[in-house]
Structure 1
């Protein structure tokens, strides 16, 4: 089977997601145009029934799962597909694939609409929301899209690296939640006692008021994929200028400013569940929302959503394609998604190449 470059394939899939986002693309077309190309790029031979079986049933009476990815003839990963515009937050979909996995005894399952991918550990003895291991959007290059998708590759399924990554992540989440509980709206008494011993000159009231004033956040560093996922000497991400027009989707806000497509700072806004949210791209390309600075549009958009609906336990923020979430006022006065700026950059590169 001829090797396919994942990053090049993702660039094409991102373009299709943008084109089909507002169309009524059904599940079958979603699989053919968005999901199949990604699975092929991850090393799965979709024409080999020893590797991939569609509409897979462990027994004839069972309900079928869209894809069963097999290693040595045994299902190692289930993939359940939904149409592009289906809401992945709908609990029915996760419950559906958990049922398939339970019947077949398959540990790892993926739920996807061709853009958003959710990777679950079906064997984890926790509620379904806590079975979620990774969640990314292909259209959102601000997430660790390549690294997460490579976890689903045939090579990784053969080497069974997911178990170790899951265990470390699951422990980290529990420790983080325990630490955060110490700093709740009413600080834990054990924390107050510890601080009183360390700071005998301060009264309990002083310490409590200080804890209420402090904004303490605990962030887990992004987990990189195992070293086997990236070839020796291969960079995780190539600079935009080395990718040509197909790589323009990875352009930064700072780069858009450098080439004169936008002027920074740039005011942003979004409407979400009836709320108007405002942010700003600073001169250094970072994004400020609610007085906090974020590294990407997507992170700022995720926290903006979280400010309206609350944050999921154990997750930093709701998965968000920041380029589509945030809007700006263009030079002609029209309101456009920030992604329009990225498309202008792509058009500029194409024009230069043609010249």
Structure 2
């Protein structure tokens, strides 16, 4: 099975006409041949049922065993953008309603596999993406067999494999989200052991041990330079976490009456989102917050680039949003959508 599949995928990689295929051509020349090589009888409509009726809609393919739908496949042409929210939500909606464990959205070249009955929005239910062109052929074939072969679907192994990948992704995301916050908490409220460790290391370097209060003041003085952006913002900026270069002297801090704490920003952030019906793009919120506190944020200290290469005011707003999320006022990114911030029911009532 695998060798035959590998040979077919290699041929597809060399097919320069793929991107110009229509949806029907994609089904006939890519999807059906792959299903056959995965052990499915594409000539048996009771096993591979095209245009399967789901309530008042149709799904392109239902892979069925013993009279039960096990996988739904929605097909598009190669030039179609699979990241369209309507495509994903529609597929997951009728998969969930029919009790189907696995769903696939594909344009022939890219195959996105989902667990429709998992929690969260469509993004959080995605298990993996298989790309016939970009990914190594052997890896592509291995994923197809693990997750979509008739043998593994029939035995339940495919669902087990998908759930294991999904669980691993959720765990990885939780850790990546927690690490910047854990670091920031250490910086904001340094543990006595850390303070003592730094004091001892300073003593080794200069032969004089600083007072623990001096070390604490050092943390407070350079706190904003040490703080990291939330993991979500690091991904958006595409930059690795970093601190200021040593040789750069810190910008003069503004007077206390010009300082706006992260907690101070939270009620204004909530009001802006409520004004937009509970959900707005991150850029829109930033624009309105900046306009609201322009006299404060125009100060060079707030314009100074900190971790992630973003201005301090933007960095502080990102963490204000994280703090609001921890308080249950703002939804997780998986619920609000990429690039958007949205209020929870608690947030809508917050005053």
Please give the TM-score of this superposition, normalised by the length of structure 2.
Answer: 0.53
Residue 145 in 1 paired to residue 145 in 2?
no
Q: CA deviation at 1:173?
A: 3.3
Q: CA deviation at 1:34?
A: 1.4
Unpaired runs of 5+ residues, structure 2, are 199-214, 232-332, 335-351
Q: CA deviation at 1:85?
A: 0.6
Q: Which residue of 2 aligns with 1:128?
A: 122
Larger radius of gyration: 2
Distance 1:29 1:211, change over 3 A: same
Root-mean-square deviation (CA), in Å? 3.6
Q: Which residue of 1 aligns with 2:113?
A: 119
* Residues 22-41 of structure 1 deviation map (CA, whole Å, 9 limit, x = unaligned): x3x21111111111111111
Q: Which residue of 2 aligns with 1:200?
A: 196
CA distance in 1, matches of 2:86, 2:36: 28
Distance 1:195 1:39, change over 3 A: farther
CA distance in 2, matches of 1:183, 1:110: 32
* Residues 57-99 of structure 1 deviation map (CA, whole Å, 9 limit, x = unaligned): 14xx531111111122211001110011101111111112113
Distance 1:170 1:34, change over 3 A: closer
CA distance in 2, matches of 1:187, 1:75: 47
Residue pairs, 1:204-223, within 5 angstroms? 205=218
Query: Is the 8 Å Cα contact of residues 148 and 158 (structure 2) preserved in structure 1?
Result: no
Q: Which residue of 2 aligns with 1:106?
A: 100
CA distance in 1, matches of 2:187, 2:156: 40
Q: Which residue of 2 aligns with 1:39?
A: 35
Distance 1:191 1:162, change over 3 A: farther
Q: Which residue of 2 aligns with 1:229?
A: none
Please give the TM-score of this superposition, normalised by the length of structure 1.
Answer: 0.52
Q: Which residue of 2 aligns with 1:175?
A: 171
* Residues 312-336 of structure 1 deviation map (CA, whole Å, 9 limit, x = unaligned): x79xxxxxxxxxxxxxxxxxxxxxx
Query: Is the 8 Å Cα contact of residues 3 and 43 (structure 1) preserved in structure 2?
Result: no
Q: Which residue of 2 aligns with 1:8?
A: 7
Q: CA deviation at 1:19?
A: 2.3
Q: CA deviation at 1:161?
A: 1.9
Q: Which residue of 2 aligns with 1:97?
A: 91
* Residues 210-249 of structure 1 deviation map (CA, whole Å, 9 limit, x = unaligned): 9669xx9xxxxxxxxxxxxxxxxxxxxxxxxxxxxxxxxx
Residue 159 in 1 paired to residue 158 in 2?
no
Distance 1:4 1:19, change over 3 A: same
Q: Which residue of 2 aligns with 1:252?
A: none
Unpaired runs of 5+ residues, structure 1, are 217-312, 315-355
Distance 1:55 1:40, change over 3 A: same
Residue pairs, 1:60-79, within 5 angstroms? 61-79=55-73
Query: Is the 8 Å Cα contact of residues 78 and 109 (structure 1) preserved in structure 2?
Result: yes
Query: Is the 8 Å Cα contact of residues 116 and 138 (structure 1) preserved in structure 2?
Result: yes
